[in-house]
């Protein structure tokens, strides 16, 4: 039994939960997960019992509680340095963190209009202003990193920054947002990664419907 417990939201919808979950799973860090669905109109009161923000993800490690997706990744990266959550090279690590921070703090138009939804069938939707600017910046990041590393992941092997962008891979896919061959190859690498497949299989088992996340 692992002493790391990661509380996550619905695997079908919870993009912020997917990020640390995938970083840990994809880098071979032992942990357990507990799903707390947000299928209540006013939010699930259970989330408030375990999270200071009333949001997931939250990590428990004995008495230590860490919230916010990127803070969780950083905590676990320090706990398991050999797992290689970040690139080993300091300059590459700085770039990976910069991209991850862009994801955490930006791309609001895309995130607002195009919710992650693992089980959704592929279908384009009308996109409000700003969404394609976000798509363009993300594709520039991917192109830049993949050209430097040679792929198949942004920094060669799978790292936390790929986990940070994994919900975007789902969004690009289900809303049919790109035909760029470099993006498509990267999306395929993420979607076929065993850790992503494991999350996807669990998401497909879920039956909760969250109407506001059904674009």
Ligand X SMILES: N[C@@H](CCC(=O)N[C@@H](CS)C(=O)NCC(=O)O)C(=O)O
Give the residues lining the site for ligand X (CB under 6 A): 9, 14-17, 38, 43, 47, 55-57, 68-69
Nearer to ligand X, 97 or 146 (CB): 97
The minimum distance between CB 71 and ligand X, in angstroms, equals: 8
Answer for the pair 32, 1: CB distance below 8 angstroms, yes or no: yes
The beta strand positions in the chain, using DSSP E, are: 4-8, 32-35, 58-61, 64-67
The minimum distance between CB 44 and ligand X, in angstroms, equals: 6
Q: Mention every residue, 6+ apart, whose C-beta is less than 8 A from residue 26.
A: 158, 162, 163, 193, 195, 196
The minimum distance between CB 38 and ligand X, in angstroms, equals: 4
The minimum distance between CB 109 and ligand X, in angstroms, equals: 16
Q: What is the sign, positive or negative, of the torsion defined by CA atoms of 7, 170, 74, 136?
A: negative
Nearer to ligand X, 40 or 133 (CB): 40
CA distance 215 to 211: 8
Nearer to ligand X, 14 or 117 (CB): 14
Token pair of 199 as six digits: 């999350």
The minimum distance between CB 200 and ligand X, in angstroms, equals: 16
Nearer to ligand X, 45 or 128 (CB): 45
Nearer to ligand X, 17 or 170 (CB): 17
CA distance 202 to 41: 23
């Amino acid at each position: 039994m692992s002493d790391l417990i990661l509380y996550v939201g619905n695997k079908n919808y919870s993009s912020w939960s997917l990020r640390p979950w995938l970083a840990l799973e994809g880098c071979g860090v032992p942990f357990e997960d507990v799903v707390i669905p947000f299928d209540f109109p006013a939010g699930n009161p259970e989330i408030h019992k375990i999270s200071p923000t009333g949001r997931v993800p939250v990590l428990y490690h004995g008495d230590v509680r860490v919230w916010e997706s990127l803070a969780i990744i950083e905590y676990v990266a320090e706990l398991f340095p050999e797992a290689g959550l970040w690139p080993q090279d300091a300059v590459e690590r700085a770039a990976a963190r910069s991209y991850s921070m862009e994801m955490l703090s930006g791309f609001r138009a895309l995130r607002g209009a195009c919710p992650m939804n693992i089980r959704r069938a592929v279908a384009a939707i009308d996109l409000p202003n700003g969404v394609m600017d976000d798509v363009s910046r993300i594709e520039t990041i991917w192109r830049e990193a993949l050209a430097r590393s040679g792929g198949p992941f942004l920094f060669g092997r799978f790292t936390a920054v790929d986990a940070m962008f994994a919900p975007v891979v789902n969004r690009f896919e289900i809303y049919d947002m790109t035909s760029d061959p470099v993006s498509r190859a990267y999306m395929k690498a993420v979607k076929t990664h065993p850790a992503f497949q494991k999350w996807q299989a669990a998401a497909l088992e879920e039956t909760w419907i969250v109407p506001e996340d059904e674009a």
